[in-house]
C-alpha cells in the first residue's frame, strides 16, 4: 500500500512535502506511510485518491485498511459478521462489542496488559465501532446475548463510563427488535456456560461458526460437531438466564445505583 501511494504521488508530480501539504499532514507522516511504518486512515487514502487522480487504486485499499484493525484470528469472523443471519454470544467479562460505547471501548483497550500504544488503541476502537453498523443494516441479523450479571457491576473506566454504557444497552434493546439481551444471575451457581465465553454465528448461505477467545489464544471453527454442541449450550444458557424483560429491569436497577 505504501509503494502504491508513492507510485501515484510521483506520477502526479508531487514530492513528499507538496503531497503532505496538500493532504494537510506532516511530511514525516507521509514518509512513514510510504515506508509502511504507519497505516493510513481511510480518510487519508480517499484524499490521496483524489489528489493523485489514482483512478480507484487507492480507494480500493480502504478495505485493506479496515481489515488491518482486526487481530489476524478475528479477521474472518469480522468479515462474515457483515453477512450474518444470526449472531449469538455468551459474555462473562465485558459488554458485547456490538453494544459497546466509545468510552467503554477506550477504557477496555487502555486496560490491556501489556499496554497498547495510543495508535493501536485508536485503531482497535475504530474497528469495534465500525462493526456496529451490522445493527442498523438492511435486513439485520437476529442477535442474542447472555451476559453475566457481574459484567453490569464492573466499573471499567469508572462509574460514569459504566452508567453511559448500561444506558446505551437499554437504548439498543428498545430500538432494535432483532436484539435480545438476557442477564445470567450471579446466584445461578451452576449453568451451561461455566467453561467460558463463546460467540456463534450462522450466515444466509448456511455456514455456522464458533469463535472462542482465551488468554492463551483464540479459536475460530466451523466443524459441525463443535458448532452444533455450542449452539445447544447457548440454548440452555438462554433458558437458565433471566428473560429479556426481567433482564432489562436488572440493568435499569444497576443504572440507578451508579
- What are the phi and psi torsion angles at 140 (to 5°)? -70, 160
Q: Is the pLDDT of residue 161 over 70?
A: yes
CB 16 within 8 A of CB 27: yes
* Structural domains in the chain (count): 2
Range of the domain at 39: 2-67
pLDDT 10s digits, 13-40: 999 999 999 999 999 889 988 987 777 8
Co-location of 235 and 163 in the same domain: yes
Query: Do 118 and 225 have their domain in common?
Result: yes
- Whole-model pTM? 0.74
DSSP string of 108-133?
HHHT-SSPPPHHHHHHHHHHHHHHGG
When pLDDT is averaged across residues 154-162 and rounded to a whole number, the result is: 96
Please give the DSSP secondary-structure letter assigned to residue 142: E
pLDDT digits (tens, 9 = 90+) for 217-235: 678 888 888 899 999 999 9
Kindly report the CATH number assigned to the domain that includes residue 24: 1.10.260.40
Q: Which of 39, 67, 95 is the last residue of a domain?
A: 67
Domain end among 48, 67, 86: 67
- Which of 44, 67, 90 represents a domain boundary (last residue)? 67
Same-domain check for residues 25 and 119: no
35 and 95 in a common domain: no
236-253: per-residue pLDDT in tens?
999 999 999 999 999 999
One domain, residues 170 and 186: yes
Together in a domain, 229 and 105: yes
Residue 66 clears pLDDT 70, i.e. is over it: no
Average pLDDT, the chain: 90
| Percent of the residues in the chain that have a pLDDT greater than 90, as a whole number | 60
Dump pLDDT digits (tens) for 97-122.
999 999 999 999 999 888 888 888 98
Amino acid at each position: 500500500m505504501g509503494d502504491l501511494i508513492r507510485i501515484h504521488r510521483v506520477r502526479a508530480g508531487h514530492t513528499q512535502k507538496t503531497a503532505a501539504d496538500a493532504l494537510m499532514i506532516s511530511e514525516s507522516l507521509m514518509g512513514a506511510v510510504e515506508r509502511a511504518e504507519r497505516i493510513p486512515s481511510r480518510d487519508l487514502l480517499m484524499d490521496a485518491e483524489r489528489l493523485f487522480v489514482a483512478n480507484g487504486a487507492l480507494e480500493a485499499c480502504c478495505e485493506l485498511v479496515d481489515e488491518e484493525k482486526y487481530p489476524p484470528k478475528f479477521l474472518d469472523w469480522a468479515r462474515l459478521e457483515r453477512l450474518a443471519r444470526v449472531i449469538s454470544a455468551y459474555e462473562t467479562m465485558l459488554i458485547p462489542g456490538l453494544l459497546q460505547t466509545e468510552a467503554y471501548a477506550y477504557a477496555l483497550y487502555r486496560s490491556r496488559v501489556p499496554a497498547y500504544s495510543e495508535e493501536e488503541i485508536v485503531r482497535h476502537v475504530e474497528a469495534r465501532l465500525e462493526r456496529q453498523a451490522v445493527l442498523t443494516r438492511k435486513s439485520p441479523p437476529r442477535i442474542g446475548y447472555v451476559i453475566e450479571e457481574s459484567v453490569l457491576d464492573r466499573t471499567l473506566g469508572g462509574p460514569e463510563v459504566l452508567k453511559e454504557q448500561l444506558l446505551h444497552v437499554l437504548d439498543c434493546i428498545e430500538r432494535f427488535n432483532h436484539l435480545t439481551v438476557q442477564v445470567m444471575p450471579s446466584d445461578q451457581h451452576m449453568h451451561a456456560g461455566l467453561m467460558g465465553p463463546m460467540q456463534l454465528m450462522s450466515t444466509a448461505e448456511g455456514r455456522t461458526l464458533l469463535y472462542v477467545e482465551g488468554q492463551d489464544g483464540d479459536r475460530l471453527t466451523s466443524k459441525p460437531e463443535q458448532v452444533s454442541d455450542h449452539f445447544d449450550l447457548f440454548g440452555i444458557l438462554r433458558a437458565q438466564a433471566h428473560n429479556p424483560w426481567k433482564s432489562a429491569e436488572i440493568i435499569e436497577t444497576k443504572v440507578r445505583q451508579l
